Copies of this chain bind each other. A is one copy, B any other.
Amino acid sequence: MDELNWKILACLQVNARESFSSIGRKVGLTSPAVKERVAKMQDAGIIQDFKTVVSHTHLGFQLRAIITLRAFVGKLKPFLEHVKNFDEVLNCYRITGNENIIMEVVLQNQSHLEKFIDTLITYGETRTHIILSNVISNAQVKKVNK
């Protein structure tokens, strides 16, 4: 991860569809060189994915929420298997602390939220926080001085 790779990453984090030749012009490389560096960053696991960010609001999901789950004894494993089938869950992490699980979910409306929580309470105790607004969304990763 030299300076050039950080510059390439900065470009791709802003716009994952930027062409390698356009990036090459900005960083002072030819497009085959950029292509090779990107491929190596993918192989190394530094670049995980190129994803399109969509607006859930525009697609019929009027509510977003953060839900924590404190799983009942013996219910964590079944939850971890079934959660992958819940289309509402955008992100789900195992965490330390009083709760085992934290999820970011999207829902069509209040009754959808109600039904979803009804599903969850079979696995554990939940706490729900409605998301009011985004302050920061998917911030870019910058080089850090070690």
Contact = CB atoms under 8 A, between A and B. Distances in A.
Listed from nearest, the 5 A-B pairs whose CB atoms lie closest are: A92-B135, A95-B129, A16-B50, A92-B136, A12-B52
A46 B7 CA distance: 28
Copies in the complex: 2
A61 to B, nearest CB: 7
Interface residues of A, number: 62
A73 interface: no
A26 to B, nearest CB: 15
Contact of A66 (B80, B84, B93, B146): B93
A108 interface: yes
Interface string A10-53: 00110111000000000000000000000000001111111111
